Amino acid sequence: MNMTNIKGKRKKLQVNKKIKFDVSEWDWFKLQLELYALKYCAEMYSVSFYFESDRQGRILCRIFGKHAETMLANNATRTEQLEYYKDWVGKERQAISEILKSIPLLNKTFDLEKNVVYQIMYSYGMGATLICEFKGGKVIWPPK
């Protein structure tokens, strides 16, 4: 790749230069989750991840599904909503599990049930509110 400097002389820019740096499995896992969230971001369904600390710890997986808005507007019961939300959480749990498979040590120690809280969110444009969360194998609904 050629670049022109201020005086008009061409200099060759090295783009093949290898840079070495160490990345922990935890950092790599977080990066993979962020890339996954970007790759599958859409208006009808998207996820985002929040990490409690730089150490291996709890992850918040926030799920935004456009259909949640429809169900809330149509006064769907929690039982009716839960059918969708369980599928959404299962889909994200499977995706996270697939990412973990490529990370040897973390795959053995990271517990998707214990370390990940799945939050179903309702996005109202300028922000979002929690509908329910799946935490430690339980579904928790906020007070009405």
Residue pLDDT, tens place only, 14-26: 667 777 778 889 8
What pLDDT was estimated at residue 9? 63
Question: What residue spans define the domains of the chain?
Answer: 23-140
Q: What is the pLDDT of residues 39-92, one digit of tens each?
A: 999 889 999 999 987 556 789 999 999 999 999 999 999 999 999 999 999 999
d(C-alpha 139, C-alpha 27), whole Å: 29
Q: At what angle do helices 25-39 and 78-101 cross, to 10 degrees?
A: 130
- The model carries a pTM of 0.81
23-140: CATH architecture: 2-Layer Sandwich (3.30)
Strand ranges (DSSP E) for the chain?
A: 2-4, 10-12, 45-51, 59-65, 116-123, 128-135, 138-140
